[in-house]
Amino acid sequence: MTMAVAAVLTPAAAHADGHQVTYTVTSPNNVTANVSYVNADPPSQAAFNADPSKFSTSVQAPLSGGTPVTYTATLANPNQFASITASGMLHWPDSGNGPAQFHCEIAVDGQVVVQQDATTTVTCRPS
């Protein structure tokens, strides 16, 4: 069973010098997550759609006990491009306890603008 809960909060106003974006991922499980987040502004939506990996970083992050893992980026337009996805599967012997659970959030200039909980894969994007 997959359950997702989302909360969308106030979006950030535009700044000419860019916004400080903080991505946070947690899991109550012991899991190595595949995490991908946008770390650079593309010149256009078309450029991003053509190859999002040029503007993103992908890492494997050890998660456990709800301890947060954070990443930061400076983006001119976080409402359009900020995004983080975390996914992973539990390994034996933990796999008998159900799917991995994840929580993500994005803060722009210190204010949380979106957070979400899901199993197996979670994605946060401002709307």
Using one digit for the tens of pLDDT, what is the confidence trace for 61-94? 999 889 999 999 999 999 999 999 999 988 766 6
Report, as an integer, the average pLDDT of 44-60: 96
* Res 95: pLDDT: 65
* Res 18: pLDDT: 93
* Res 12: pLDDT: 39
For CA atoms 104, 9, 108, 124, give the dihedral sign. positive
Residue range(s) defining the domain that contains residue 101:
5-124
How many domains are contained in the chain?
Answer: 1
Strands (DSSP E) contained in the chain are: 5-8, 19-26, 31-38, 56-63, 69-75, 84-87, 101-108, 111-119, 121-124
CB neighbour class for 104 (10 Å; exposed up to 12, middle 13-18, buried from 19):
buried
Identify the helix (H) or strand (E) that includes residue 50: helix 45-50
For all residues of the chain together, what is the average pLDDT? 87
Position 33, amino acid: A
**Can you tell me the distance from the alpha carbon of 10 to that of 22, in angstroms, rounded to the nearest whole number?**
15
Question: Does residue 10 have a pLDDT over 50?
Answer: no
* Res 57: pLDDT: 98
Q: What is the DSSP letter of 18?
A: -
Question: Does residue 26 have a pLDDT over 50?
Answer: yes
